[in-house]
Structures are given as C-alpha cells and as structure tokens.
C-alpha cells in the first residue's frame, strides 16, 4: 500500500497543472488621479492626532482613495473587490447614483435642522422604514450608531420591565459604551470598568460551539442562567441574528445560530436582534 501511495503521488505530480491566478474582471471605470498625502504621511498624522484606539490590522494598511460600485481603489489606482462593506454596515456599494442624488438634493435644500421643528424628511423615512418591519414594530427611534441603538434598547427594556438583568451571548459584540460593553463578550472590546447585570450564555455556534449544532442544549443554557443567575425575571435578551464579529479573534466569519435555537425563542420577545454594528434600529 505504501508503494502504491508513492506511485500515485508521483503520477499526480506528473499530471499536475499550474494553478491560474484569478484575475479581476474588466470594469469600465478609470479612477481620478490622486494628489493627496501618501499612506506613510496619513499614518504619521493618525499616530499624532488620533486616539490609539483607532487601530488597524495590517503592517501596511491600504490607503483607500476612491470607490465605484463594488470596487475600491488605492492611491496608486489599483482596484480591489470590496467584500467588507464598512464592517458589514454599509452594503450599498460606492457612488451609487440614487444615493448621491438624494444626498445632493437634501443638502442643497436644507443641510441640518433640529427635531424640535417639523420637517417631512425624517417622518417620511420613518414611515417607509416602519412599513418594512414585521409585526407591531412600527415606531422608529433613529440613532447614530449600533452602540447608541443598543444602549437605548437596554435602557428601555430595563425601564419598561423594572428588571436589570440582560441575557447576552458569549463572543458577541454590541458596542463599547457603558451598557453595551457589559453585553459585549469579547475581551478585546472590554475595559476595566463596572459592567453589571449582564449574563452571557453559551454561543450557539454550530461549527465551534460547545454543543455543536444541538440548539436545544444552547436554549437550555439560557433557561438555566435565568433560573440560577437571576430573580427569574429579566429585562431582555440581546443577540446578533447573524454573528459577524467573531472573526476578529477567532478566525470565524459569519454564521447563523444552531438549528433549534429560534424555535426555543417562540413565545419570548427578544430585547434586540442586531444585524451588525451600526445602522438604524426600530423599537416599539
């Protein structure tokens, strides 16, 4: 058998064909000439004038200067396929003409006003967004970020229920403010400040989770946390419907919860299901 394996390996090596490097498809767009500061100069300014909390993950990060549809361009005009979409929060491509026209038209008419006065834009937008929401989620509260949305959701749940305890999931990310940091369950995004009233259940990761794809066991863990870690009454349950932040430190990706977890949620209204960091949230 060993000899056969070696013979097979030699045969495979003999007929092996070179792997062709994938090429970007043709694209009818030429980026504008870039005459701004170099990546080195930008890095120097960031180090001098911006908080070190704004870090990057690369020894030589790209200097992105232009975008068109699904592509990005660096300072040298090199094209990249954007599969990141602003950490999965701005999935509308780049320089979309409809978006540009809407922004330009509004800026030309009225750039800013307070909600203390009336303006149709925010009311029309809220109506359009509510029309796409399921069930009785028909009231919109606009925020500037996912952190703000989650802070608001946690505070509203605690005030409405009169309970303080929140159930979150391990390896989740919900923000870096005082309340959301407690709901977050990754050491990279937590600081040594008081974070009270949040209990973290086992993450229902069907690939790397403690119970594999057995959703009933993950649901039982939540049930036991409520029974043994709280008064039996919790303010809410916060989770990401699609886990998209796990790859920061675990080499993961994006995945759905294990089968059975959603069935176990029937009859229980979640506090908040996040679709990713940032964006708008609707609340009743």
Whether 45 and 36 have beta carbons less than 8 Å apart is answered as no
Q: Which CATH architecture has domain 120-282?
A: 3-Layer(aba) Sandwich (3.40)
| Arithmetic mean of pLDDT, 97-118 | 93
Residues above pLDDT 70, as percent of the chain: 79
pLDDT tens by residue, 10-66: 555 556 667 888 889 999 999 999 999 999 999 999 999 999 888 887 888 999 999
Domain layout of the chain by residue ranges = 28-113, 120-282
Task: Tell me which fold the domain 28-113 belongs to.
Answer: 3.90.1150
Q: What does the block give as tokens for 261?
A: 């977890």
Report the pLDDT value the prediction gives residue 7, as an integer from 0 to 100: 46
Whether 218 and 204 have beta carbons less than 8 Å apart is answered as yes
Tell me the pLDDT band of 9, cut-offs 50, 70 and 90. Answer: low
User: What are the distances in angstroms from CA 27 to CA 30, 31, 97, 100, 247?
Assistant: 9, 11, 17, 21, 31
The answer on pLDDT for 106 being more than 50 is yes
Report the pLDDT value the prediction gives residue 282, as an integer from 0 to 100: 38
Which pTM value belongs to this model? 0.74
Report the pLDDT value the prediction gives residue 209, as an integer from 0 to 100: 87
Whether 275 and 149 have beta carbons less than 8 Å apart is answered as no
Report the pLDDT value the prediction gives residue 53, as an integer from 0 to 100: 82
């Amino acid at each position: 058998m060993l000899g056969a394996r070696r013979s097979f390996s030699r045969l495979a090596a003999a007929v092996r064909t070179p792997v062709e490097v994938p090429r970007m498809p043709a694209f009818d767009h030429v980026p504008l000439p870039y005459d701004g500061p170099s990546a080195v100069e930008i890095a120097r300014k960031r180090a001098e004038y911006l908080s070190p909390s704004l870090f990057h993950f690369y020894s030589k990060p790209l200097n992105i200067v232009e975008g068109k549809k699904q592509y990005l361009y660096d300072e040298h005009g090199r094209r990249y396929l954007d599969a990141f979409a602003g950490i999965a929060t701005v999935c509308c491509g780049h320089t979309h003409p409809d978006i540009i026209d809407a922004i330009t038209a509004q800026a030309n008419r009225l750039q800013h006003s307070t909600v203390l006065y009336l303006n149709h834009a925010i009311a029309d937008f809220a109506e359009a967004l509510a029309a796409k929401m399921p069930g009785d989620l028909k009231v919109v509260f606009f925020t500037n970020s996912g952190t703000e949305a989650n802070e608001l959701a946690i505070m509203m749940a605690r005030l409405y229920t009169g309970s303080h305890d929140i159930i979150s999931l391990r390896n989740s990310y919900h923000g870096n403010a005082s309340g959301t940091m407690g709901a977050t369950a990754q050491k990279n995004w937590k600081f040594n400040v008081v974070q009270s009233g949040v209990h973290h259940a086992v993450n229902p990761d069907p690939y790397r989770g403690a119970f594999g794809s057995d959703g009933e066991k993950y649901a039982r863990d939540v049930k036991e946390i409520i029974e043994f870690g709280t008064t039996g009454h919790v303010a809410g349950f916060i989770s990401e419907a699609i886990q998209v932040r796990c790859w920061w430190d675990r080499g993961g990706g994006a995945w759905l919860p294990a089968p059975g977890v959603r069935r176990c949620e029937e009859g229980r209204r979640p506090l908040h299901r996040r679709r990713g960091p940032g964006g708008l949230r609707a609340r009743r």
